[in-house]
Amino acid sequence: MDLLTAPFEATGRRPATAVWRPLLLVSAAMLATVGAGRLLVEQGGLLAELGAAVEGTGAHGGFIAQGLVIALGGRGAWAAPALRVGAALFAGFLLGRLLPWGGLALLLAPAVLLHECRRFPRLSRMGVLAPARPGTLAIGFAVGAFLGAHLLVTASLTFGYGVSVVSLAGYATALAYDVGANALSAEWLFRGALFSHWWRHWGFWGAAATATAMSLLRYLLDPALPQTAEARAGAIFYLAALGLAASVLRAWSGSLVPGYLASIAFFAAYRTLVVW
Q: Name the percent of the chain lying above pLDDT 70.
A: 93
Rounded-to-integer distance, Cα 181 and Cα 219, Å: 13
Rounded-to-integer distance, Cα 207 and Cα 210, Å: 5
Question: Tell me: the pLDDT tens digits for 19-70?
Answer: 888 999 999 999 999 999 999 999 999 999 999 999 999 999 999 999 999 9
Q: Can you give the pTM of this predicted structure?
A: 0.91
Confidence of residue 1 (pLDDT cuts 50, 70, 90): very low
Average pLDDT for the chain: 89
Report the C-alpha dihedral over residues 196, 197, 203, 204, rounded to 10 degrees: -30
Q: Supply the pLDDT for residue 12.
A: 44
Nearest to 242 by CA among 269, 268, 272, 212: 212
Helix (H) and strand (E) counts for the chain? Answer: 11, 2
Question: Tell me: the pLDDT tens digits for 142-153?
Answer: 999 999 999 999
Q: Which domain holds residue 62?
A: 2-274
Rounded-to-integer distance, Cα 26 and Cα 36, Å: 15
Nearest to 268 by CA among 186, 138, 149, 156: 149
Cα-to-chain-centroid distance, residue 120: 20
7 touches 203 (CB < 8 A): yes
Helix (H/G/I), strand (E/B), else coil: 31: helix
Residue 47 one-letter amino acid: L
Cα dist from 250 to 85, 141, 188, 235, 243, whole Å: 23, 13, 11, 22, 10
89 touches 106 (CB < 8 A): yes
Question: Is 75 a residue whose pLDDT tops 80?
Answer: no
**How many separate domains does the chain show?**
1
Q: Supply the pLDDT for residue 17.
A: 56
Q: Tally the C-alpha atoms within 13 A of residue 87's C-alpha that lie toward its C-beta.
A: 6
In the chain, beta strands by DSSP E: 162-163, 273-274
Nearest to 113 by CA among 60, 169, 153, 165: 60
Question: 2 exposed, middle or buried (CB, 10 Å; 0-12, 13-18, 19+)?
Answer: exposed
Runs of H (alpha helix) within 160-256 = 168-177, 183-186, 195-220, 229-253
